[in-house]
A and B are shown apart, each in its own frame.
Chain A
């Protein structure tokens, strides 16, 4: 009897729980009193948060009674979480996507077509071309350019001065700084801290030497990694790394964060987004400067990875409110504020060549626009190749050839 009562009670509880979740789902659909926005944790930084808050205030003023619920996600885990919400029908109303992540999701139909709202979005006629392309698929618009980023050198002006060094104009010159900056420093000091498997930076060498990652030949993806030019670029990266960096040859650029290494006084300079200047430590704030990484050809900058983010409205999200929020967050005022903290704004009408990161973006490269590209990133194919090259486990040519085969099979799979 007891057991039956317990079972009955459990059943009742289960039914009640199911009913209550159904009720919340229904109420959400009928009257959207709040919208959910997923942004990356970058936007949680002290100087970035007010920009989000200002957009929210503007949106809420225009839509009385609607509140914005911003949830911050990490780059490493947000796609798995997004998949889960797509399966459960609880996707957010707006999501920030990395521009290399867009194609796979657009191809699968994860976003709502917002082509008809394009004209109502701020500066949509002058969006940065690279970013705008990452938000289009099959002639339709799914992603709104949010911001772009390039990589620059953040360096200790005091150390450069002491060693009698000026901003380098060629890669060879920069490489030669290694020995001069390391003089008198402890063994673990990196003149230029580069995480060994920072493939964004390593691929810049490949593109600087005229190589590439992969290209489409009559509908099939073909690897370019083992081409003589790419191998020359990878070899140059290895030489550069060995001359200037004491970082682990197998770690990525966020374990540890380069600016933490810098703030601990263990680096003379670091490579990364221009906003790295935020976190260089109190003692170095006054003696920190930035410059663009020079190319191996004099007078040019090294091609940088044009990273960036798009904002999209997932399937199941509230399209009208989602687009309105995106419009508020990508307004001219908002983009100018993003520019002020070191990002590249989403429109050529707002870019400013006097800004260092925008100068760095004058030569840029992008990943192959294949729907499976994100699987190459997540499979750490390029990172593993760099670890093999730097640790000497394989020769540059061998490592590049094996990674290239891998990439071809993923992209054509």
Chain B
């Protein structure tokens, strides 16, 4: 690729100061230093790009109960929060060492059938509790058509002391397309505080059903 150059042979040695090749080495050294600095800066930028460019991190949409909150492929609206010490789940009475928390909500897709990847409650201490798999929780696990909201109750089992502060419902989503770097869309809906249930209070989940009138109803 390179041609032999008479000057190259001279530069390979150790020319004395003031020799003709000394002037040529200075620019070469400067270029090397410049390239090293650029490489270090690029490396540092790449390492920090997630923090500097938030679009590459999860995008979180915040909302409150009663609002339709859109997070990527899913829309959700919380209609209420109820608690119980016993859960009436399909004819079975489920007791708990903590409390049952039922979040009445509606879900739909945005452009296609969509199902939330995770539904969880975050307590005031930052602990996350996923929707219970002891309960049916069908609403949280079946696909919902675009703008065809279905309502029902998603059930969580929490330690009683988790109700000491405000709760936040977190809806985490997944996108299945070519953009593998697309950030995860998360909806965080402030629920406020939930009152601990009295003993033997039975929580009865609402039946899953289409929301009358749709999102505009």
**A and B bound?**
no
Question: B residues engaging A (CB < 8 A)?
Answer: none
Question: A residues engaging B (CB < 8 A)?
Answer: none
